[in-house]
Amino acid sequence: MKKRLLALALAGAMVFSLAACSSGGNDAPATDDQGGTSETAEVANKDKPLVWFNRQPSNSSTGELDMSALQFNDNTYYVGFDANQGAELQGTMILDYVKANIDTIDRNGDGIIGYVLAIGDIGHNDSIARTRGVRAALGTAVEKDGAIISDPVGSNADGSATAVQDGNLEVNGKTYIVRELASQEMKNSAGATWDAATAGNAIGTWASSFGDQIDIVASNNDGMGMSMFNAWSKSNKVPTFGYDANADAVAAIAEGYGGTISQHADVQAYLTLRVLRNALDGVDIDTGIGTEDDAGNVLTDDVYYYDEAARSYYALNVAVTADNYTEFTDSTKVYGPVGNQLDASAHPEKSVWLNIYNAADNFLSATYQPLLQNYDDLLNLKVEYIGGDGQTEANITNRLSNPSAYDAFAINMVKTDNAASYTALLNQ
Ligand code: BGC
Ligand code: CA
């Protein structure tokens, strides 16, 4: 409660400072060579609203937040989701499935429940959290310096790997061993991480070395999970678990996909654009978020929270399984409580430059971007969407050659360490 009051007070102070430097909107719109229009041409690029999303500025080896990027200016925020809460849910979802299906789960009947794990990006905090969540729930986690090791083990047929251990699981009076048979970062030769095609190949290799020792397939996301499901687990009836609640994965639950986690992309996509809208309007940052706006949009704290110290909004996750998947079939539908159109005279059109780090990423391209495209209309934002190649920051930054043409920026980095590649362009 105290935190929220402080947040409101700070937000109030920020409104004041933004209002002081905004032009008021009476001037003729400035046009530029990229065809964008801007009514706030006098605002320096370094003072324009900026939101980081999906990849939180942070050190990719230690996870430490990059506070200089998160506090780039008074109108800078991060929007993501609670990685630890989601990771714990994913682990629990898998464990619950194992317990409920204990009579059939051990395919070769050797008393060992074997699983393989597809890791997205060893330097991405979401990926790290999910690997830890699965290992923690299944009893295979090993700690080092107070944290669960999240490294891939490669192959662990005999259980001798040191990054994981064999877990023990007692169900109905019988004790089973749980073993991480194999895990690998799914990075392709060009350097793209969370790579679905790589996962589709890996499951082939794993299946030929482990065969019916594999009882469960776990994945850091649905893109990789579905690739493995389609290549192998569906026909071999091996439950496969992912993350993101992409529409194809939710639909596959009817065909034996074990389950997924919704990271409430519908709430995140809204927040991504909403914080920019509020900053551009010069209103309290909580408008249409914790406080109902003039169109009736408001979020409740069961779907998100704000961490003022980290300048970060986090959506909360929900497990999607055979019990409830029919409520999640349309992953690109706007979230009802924030689906109201803003009035264009009170909230005039503004232009936003936004990039997706990898145009081939299933979650971002099939779920997140379509949601953003639904909300941009509702919020009267004209958004230019730039799709990166998932490999180099330059592929994206090259297309931000004229930041003066935009009123605000939304950035999805290739690597969480690279915020400065973007802020350097805004500082020029
Ligand atoms: C998603 C992944 C996605 C990654 C990209 C994660 O939050 O769960 O599916 O590949 O973001 O940064
Ligand atoms: Ca077995």
Q: What is the pLDDT of residues 96-153, one digit of tens each?
A: 999 999 999 999 999 999 999 999 999 999 999 999 999 999 999 999 999 999 999 9
Q: How many angstroms is it from 114 CA to the middle of ligand 2?
A: 6
Residue 130 near ligand 1, beta carbon < 6 Å: no
Q: What is the pLDDT of residues 36-46, one digit of tens each?
A: 444 445 899 99
User: What phi, psi does 315 have (nearest 5°)?
Assistant: -80, 155
Q: Please state, in angstroms and rounded to a whole number, the distance separating the CA atoms of residues 20 and 418.
A: 31
User: Ligand 1 atom closest to Cα of 127?
Assistant: 6
126, 272, 317, 365, best to mutate for ligand 1 pocket (most atoms within 8 Å of CB):
126
Among residues 9, 2, 16, the alpha carbon closest in space to that of 283 is found at 16
pLDDT for 13 equals 44
364, 365, 389, best to mutate for ligand 1 pocket (most atoms within 8 Å of CB):
364
Counting every residue written for the chain, the total comes to 428
Among residues 121, 183, 134, 129, the alpha carbon closest in space to that of 156 is found at 183
Contact 284, 306 (CB under 8 A): no
79, 124, 194, best to mutate for ligand 1 pocket (most atoms within 8 Å of CB):
194
To the nearest 10°, the Cα dihedral for 110, 120, 375, 78?
A: 120
With pLDDT > 90 as the criterion, what percentage of the chain qualifies? Answer: 89
Judged by its nearest atom, the ligand closest to the C-alpha of residue 179 is 2
One DSSP character per residue, 366-380 reads IIIHHHHHHHHHHTT
| Tokens (6 digits) for 325 | 């998947």
Name the closest-CA residue to atom 3, ligand 1: 363
With pLDDT > 70 as the criterion, what percentage of the chain qualifies? Answer: 90
52, 363, 393, 418, best to mutate for ligand 1 pocket (most atoms within 8 Å of CB):
363
Q: Please state, in angstroms and rounded to a whole number, the distance separating the CA atoms of residues 253 and 234.
A: 10
Q: What is the pLDDT of residues 39-78, one digit of tens each?
A: 445 899 999 999 999 999 999 988 899 999 999 999 999 9
Q: How many angstroms is it from 217 CA to the middle of ligand 1?
A: 18
Name the closest-CA residue to atom 7, ligand 1: 54
SS3 393: coil
CB neighbour burial string for 389-419, b if at least 16 within 10 angstroms, e if fewer: bbbbbebbbeebeebbbbbbbbbbbbbbbbb
Q: Please state, in angstroms and rounded to a whole number, the distance separating the CA atoms of residues 228 and 233.
A: 6
Q: How many angstroms is it from 294 CA to the middle of ligand 1?
A: 33
Distances (CA, A) of 80 to 334, 369, 376: 17, 14, 18
pLDDT for 37 equals 47
Kindly tell me if the per-residue pLDDT of 4 is higher than 50. Answer: no
User: Ligand 1 atom closest to Cα of 412?
Assistant: 12
Q: How many angstroms is it from 281 CA to the middle of ligand 1?
A: 30
Contact 134, 88 (CB under 8 A): no
Q: How many angstroms is it from 221 CA to the middle of ligand 1?
A: 7
Residue 126 near ligand 1, beta carbon < 6 Å: yes
Q: What is the pLDDT of residues 261-297, one digit of tens each?
A: 999 999 999 999 999 999 999 999 999 999 999 999 9
Residue 82 near ligand 1, beta carbon < 6 Å: no
Residue 223 near ligand 1, beta carbon < 6 Å: yes
Q: What is the mean pLDDT of residues 340-350?
A: 98
User: Ligand 1 atom closest to Cα of 221?
Assistant: 9
Whole-structure pTM value: 0.89
Q: How many angstroms is it from 121 CA to the middle of ligand 1?
A: 9
Q: Which residues contact 358 (CB under 8 A, 6 or more apart)?
A: 192, 194, 364, 387, 388, 389, 390, 391, 414
Map tokens 């074997």 to a residue. Answer: 114
pLDDT for 41 equals 52
Kindly tell me if the per-residue pLDDT of 24 is higher than 80. Answer: no
Quote the mean pLDDT of the chain.
Answer: 92
SS3 124: coil
Judged by its nearest atom, the ligand closest to the C-alpha of residue 181 is 2
User: Ligand 1 atom closest to Cα of 244?
Assistant: 8
Kindly tell me if the per-residue pLDDT of 19 is higher than 70. Answer: no
Residue 243 near ligand 1, beta carbon < 6 Å: yes
Residue 156 near ligand 1, beta carbon < 6 Å: no
One DSSP character per residue, 311-355 reads TEEEEPPEEE-TTTGGGGS-TTSPPGGG-PPPPTTTS--EEEEEE
Residue 55 near ligand 1, beta carbon < 6 Å: yes
Grade residue 79 by pLDDT with cuts at 50, 70 and 90.
Answer: very high
Residue 195 near ligand 1, beta carbon < 6 Å: no
Q: How many angstroms is it from 108 CA to the middle of ligand 1?
A: 34
Please, what's the largest Cα pairwise distance for the chain? 76
